Amino acid sequence: MTEAPLHDTLIIGGGPAGLSAATHLAFHRRDVVVIDRASGPLRYTTTPLHNVPGFVGERGVDILKRLRGDAEGAGARLVRSNVTRVSGQEGDFTVETDVGTFRARTLLLATGVARHHPRVSGRFEPWLPYAAKGNTYYCPDCESPEVLGQDVLVIGVNSPVGAASVALTLSEFAREVRVLLTDSEELDEPWAGRLARRGITWQVGEIAAVEGKRGHLDALTLADGTRLTPEGVFVVGPKTPRNDLAVQLGLELSEKGHVKTGWRGQTNVPDVWAAGDVQPQTQQVSVALGSGNIAAVMIDQTLTRLGLRDLGREVTEALAAD
């Protein structure tokens, strides 16, 4: 059996962090492959983003399209697949995917975090037509001003304290804030008191049905028959780092499961970097873009130490003939 070719860099994850790194490395004539299973948040976000410099007012899905186009335009190869296994060490890593095996001198993990959706009659699928569309938001640090002057519902998914904390933040923007705690969670003190002092009501309940059209959520009906018709909805739940591959490589993790790195994205394993939301850092597109870029600069320098850049025979031959 012939061995897979040894690429300069394999990037696992094609969100803003992975694509930013791919663009830098490919522009610097590195042979770079991005493997992505296309489950990142921007792919499904049809609300406009307002805090990403250079992209203000653009929809997440369009930003992602532009980033993919930039990476491909620079010469990166984008592969749509799921990475199931990573092994190897310094200078030679093997990555197994649904579409075959890849090898590379260096690795960048940019796998992001998994977010939880509310369940409707026990299933999360009925929620998906509204997730990050129309009037449904997931990122209070990015999107709180979207609900200025509105009647807002905060839905806690396995996260009563998180939901209460977001409700307090949103109360600075919204006209009225209510909290719905799903999964039979209760809210303890001091959070219940904090909400009461701001006039924020909360209840425990299961969502039985949702109504809306073209991504706009019009109403939710709870299992006890209560019908809620908020103007805006924020979903608050745990964000679980996608760290299964990091575990396979023996990368050091933080208490919450993020990949621990130095500020340039270097991990405890030589020639492996991490960037974006999978690092313990603020989860924003511009931060992911920046961290991908920092890691790419370091990877490029490491590749220079590992061997000469392949600038293409025709260039070197033309120079030699001069």
Ligand X SMILES: Cc1cc2nc3c(=O)[nH]c(=O)nc-3n(C[C@H](O)[C@H](O)[C@H](O)COP(=O)(O)OP(=O)(O)OC[C@H]3O[C@@H](n4cnc5c(N)ncnc54)[C@H](O)[C@@H]3O)c2cc1C
User: Quick one: angle between helices 285-306 and 16-27, nearest 10?
Assistant: 40
Element (H, E) at 61: helix 60-74
Residue 52 as a binder of ligand X (CB under 6 A): the answer is yes
CB of 128 to ligand X, least distance (A): 12
39 binds ligand X (CB under 6 A): yes
Q: How far apart are CA 127 and CA 165, in angstroms?
A: 23
283 belongs to the binding site for ligand X (CB under 6 A): yes
Segment interacting with ligand X, rule: CB under 6 A, options 39-47, 171-179, 211-219, 256-264: 39-47
Give 195 or 283: the residue with its C-beta nearer to ligand X.
283
Q: Are strands 239-241 and 176-181 parallel, antiparallel or unpaired?
A: unpaired
Q: Are 144 and 173 in contact (CB under 8 A)?
A: yes
Q: How far is the CB of 223 from ligand X (least distance, A)?
A: 26
Asked if 82 touches ligand X (CB under 6 A), the answer is yes
| Type of residue numbered 3 | E
Among 4, 6, 29, 37, binds ligand X (CB under 6 A): 37
Of 264, 240, 269, the residue nearest 254 (C-alpha): 240
CB of 47 to ligand X, least distance (A): 7
Residue 230 sits in the site that holds ligand X (CB under 6 A): no
Site string for ligand X, 96-115 (x = CB under 6 A): --------------xxx--x
Q: Which is nearer to ligand X, 194 or 264 (CB)?
A: 264
Return the residue matching tokens 């938001």.
137
Q: Strand, coil or helix: what is 158?
A: coil
Nearer Cβ to ligand X (142/177) = 142
Is residue 234 within 8 Å of 152, Cβ to Cβ?
A: yes
Provide, rounded to whole angstroms, the least separation between the CB of residue 154 and ligand X: 14
- CB of 289 vs ligand X, minimal distance in Å: 8
Size of the site for ligand X (CB under 6 A): 39
In the bound state with ligand X, the residue whose beta carbon lies nearer, of 174 and 275, is 275
Residue 12 binds ligand X (CB under 6 A): yes
Residue-wise DSSP of 216-257: EEEEEEETTS-EE--SEEEEE--EEE--HHHHHHT--B-TTS
The Cα–Cα gap between 43 and 210 comes to 23
**Per CB under 6 A, which region of 65-73, 116-124, 199-207, 275-283 contacts ligand X?**
275-283
